[in-house]
Every structure is written in C-alpha cells, then in structure tokens.
Amino acid sequence: MAYHTPTVLADLRRRAESALNRLVKPSVPSLSPENVEALMHELRVHQIELEMQNQELQRANHEVEESRTRYRELYESIPIGYVTIDATGRIYDVNPAGARLLGIEESRPELNNNNYFFFFDGDVDRITLFARKVIERQTSEVDEYRMKRVDDSCFTAFLQAAPVQIGEGEEGRIRIAFQDITRQKHSEAELRRQRVELEANQAELRELTTKLFAAQEEERRRIARELHDDHCQRVTALILEANMLTKVCKTRLPDIAPRLTAMSQKLTDILSDFRSLSHELLPRNLDDTSLIAPIRVLIGEFSGKAGFEVKFVEPPVALVIPPPIMTALFRLLQECLSNIAKHANAKRVTVTLTGTNQTVELHVTDDGVGFDPGLLPAKREATGIVGMRERLRPFGGTVHIISRPGQGATVTSSVPLPEST
C-alpha cells in the first residue's frame, strides 16, 4: 500500500469534494426539494464513508511506517551483512554489518563501483551467473564465495540471495545476506584433518589388535605344545618312577610306600592340570573345519565345574568355517561362559550355533541376573565386550547384547563367511 502524509490526504479530500460540487450544482435547480434532501443525505453518507476510509488509510499508513521503522532498525542492527546489487554487481544499499565486513563506509564512492569489486577475482564469473539466475528465475539461492574487502583481504562468506521487487522498467536487483564463515571453514578443515588422522589411528589400532590376537594364539599354541610335549612327558615319567618305587618299597620299606603312593597321586593331579591347561590353550579339533567338536568339549568342561547346565543346539548341517573365524568364535564363547560363571549366577545356559553359506552366528543365552549394557563398568567393558568385538572386527563380524536386570542376557555374534567357503 502506498504511503501518504496527512497533508497529501487532506489535499486529496479537498479536490474530491470540489469535483463532487461541480457535478452536483448544475443539477440542483432541476431537482425537487425532496430529491435535494435525499441527495444531501446521500452526500453526508458518502462523506462519513470517506472520513472512515481516510481514518483507515491513516491507520494503515501508520502501521506501514512502524513496520518500515522496525525493518530499518533490524536491517541496521542485525550482525549479518546485507547488500542490494544489480546484475552488474553495483551496490545500491548496504547495512552497517555489511559495510564493516567489506571494510567500506556507506557514503564512500566504492558503493557505486560495479563488476562485483567486493568479490574475489576468481569468483566474479561465478557470482555473476549466480546473480543473473536469481533475477531471471525470481527464486532464492544459497552458495559460498570468497569475498574481498577494500584492503584486498579476503574471507569466505555464506550467501543467501533473494530477488528484490522494484518498479516496472527498472533493472532487476537482488538482496544478498552474507556471513563471514572463514573460521568455520578453518574449523571444518581442521576437523576433517583430525577425522582422517583418527581413522588412520583406528585402522592402525585395529591392525595392531589383529596382530595381538594372532600373537596370543601363536603363544598359546607354543605353550600348549610345550606343556604337552615336555612337561606332561616329564611328569608322566615321574609318575612311572614313583609307581615303580612304590612296588619296591612295599616289600623293603613298607613305611615309605604310602608316601610314595600319595606323591604319585599328586603327580597324577598335576599331569591332569597340565593337560587341561594345554587343552584350554589349544582345544582339540580347533584346527579342523568344524566348530561343533571343540564347542562340545568346552561345554562338557564348563558343565562339570561351573555349577550350571549348558545346552548346545547344533546346526542341522555342518558349517564349513575358516580356521581364523572358528578360533575367534571359540575364544568368544570361552569369554562368554567365563563371564557367566563369574557374574551371572545362572542356572541354565544355551549355546546355539547357526549359519548359512554367507554367515555364521553364535548365540549364548543365560537366565542369570542380567545387567544394563549401557551401564557396564569401564574396566569390564574394556576387557570383556570390547575384546569380543575386536576379535570379530577383522572379519567384519559384530557382537550384539540384549539384557535387562533380572532377565538374563543374550550375546549374539555374527560373522560373514568368505565366498570361497
């Protein structure tokens, strides 16, 4: 709505009344008194309508003026730069924040320069196309450009441009809101650098973890073989010798014979411990292509000494699993059963092995006290769950835990199988 001052409105009213009188006076003599009275009544009604319309117009103009004042105050106080330009890059208006960002004054002759002097030379062609696009399509657009201050220093700016509605026949203009995002861009670049460095460190850590697990398995094999081939053989020899001495002493030194028998039993117990430790370090049949037999042995050992029942649900068809994956799953099952024995206070445990040609899964479920996976102590998390996940990570495997306090727990391990298997 166009804005008019009270003086202009008053002058407009006087001219309207004068024109009305010129139209009415020639016809008054030919009218009867009744018609003249009716006409005067109609004129008074129109006068009141005009006065009411005039009041509405004044109120609307007052609201427009207040809106313009508020807009100007916002335009001048907002910390975002605003500049109005045409397709040639000539500046028609700039707010104080924009002037500060560009290092210019609103009254300086730089405002009349064209060719986008306030943009980095290498971006002038691109901003020219950008401005023409906004003017021609009459749509808002956003982009990032390098802008230039009067002292030729540059900064990266985020631009949001919108067309400006102007009078007919006037050249198209756009209003650009721009912000200096140089620090933000530097922070983003630094963040990307740190992310790349972090990913590299994580990859190195995963590689070291894989090597650590491989070294652990190799050391376990070495110790297991040393126990079996050396220590077990030596203890067996001591047992045989003790048995022979026992037979001799029964006739010659009967008092010593019971002591030798007790020593032989202790040596037998030591031999049994050595063999158990050897089998724990290097389970039988773990180098085969089936995981079923090693799991059976492990479950048998735990059922006998852990104080809870372990049920093994075998797959209907034997799964062909590469030895490295089989070893990782077996160690994970050892960790699960060990944690259940230490913390779960469970009565029943179910171990389920399933899979296809593409994936093998191991589920371990107990009816113990349960826990909140999100509230695991840091130490237990580091040595338990994280260790499980790191074992499977080199093979693309995952470990998922479902548990609630008082409702037991289920640990599901899933590993994709190589296509060759």
Question: Three-state DSSP class for 140?
Answer: coil
Position 288 scores a pLDDT of 62
Position 141 scores a pLDDT of 93
Q: Which tens digit of pLDDT belongs to each residue from 137-147? A: 989 999 999 99
Position 21 scores a pLDDT of 65
Q: How many residues in the chain?
A: 421
Backbone phi, psi, residue 290, to 5°: -115, 140
Per the CB < 8 A criterion, the answer to whether 89 and 115 are in contact is: yes
Position 140 scores a pLDDT of 92
Position 1 scores a pLDDT of 44
Going by their DSSP bridges, the two strands 348-355 and 309-313 should be labelled as: parallel
User: In the 8-state DSSP scheme, what is residue 417?
Assistant: P
**Residue 409 CA, distance from chain mean position:** 28
Position 110 scores a pLDDT of 52
Q: Which of 220, 265, 213 is nearest to 239 (CA)?
A: 265
Position 4 scores a pLDDT of 54
Q: Which of 118, 119, 142 is nearest to 130 (CA)?
A: 142
Per the CB < 8 A criterion, the answer to whether 141 and 161 are in contact is: yes
Q: How many Cβ atoms from other residues are within 10 Å of residue 194's Cβ? A: 10
Mean pLDDT by 10 residues, the chain (421 residues): 59 68 56 68 78 83 78 76 88 87 67 73 90 91 91 92 74 89 93 93 84 82 80 85 84 82 87 80 68 85 80 83 88 89 89 90 92 66 72 90 90 87 45
Q: How far apart are CA 374 and CA 371, in angstroms?
A: 9
HSE-up of residue 378 (Cα within 13 Å, Cβ side): 0
Per the CB < 8 A criterion, the answer to whether 146 and 156 are in contact is: yes
Position 63 scores a pLDDT of 82
Position 350 scores a pLDDT of 93
Sign of CA dihedral 268, 270, 276, 279: negative
Position 421 scores a pLDDT of 45
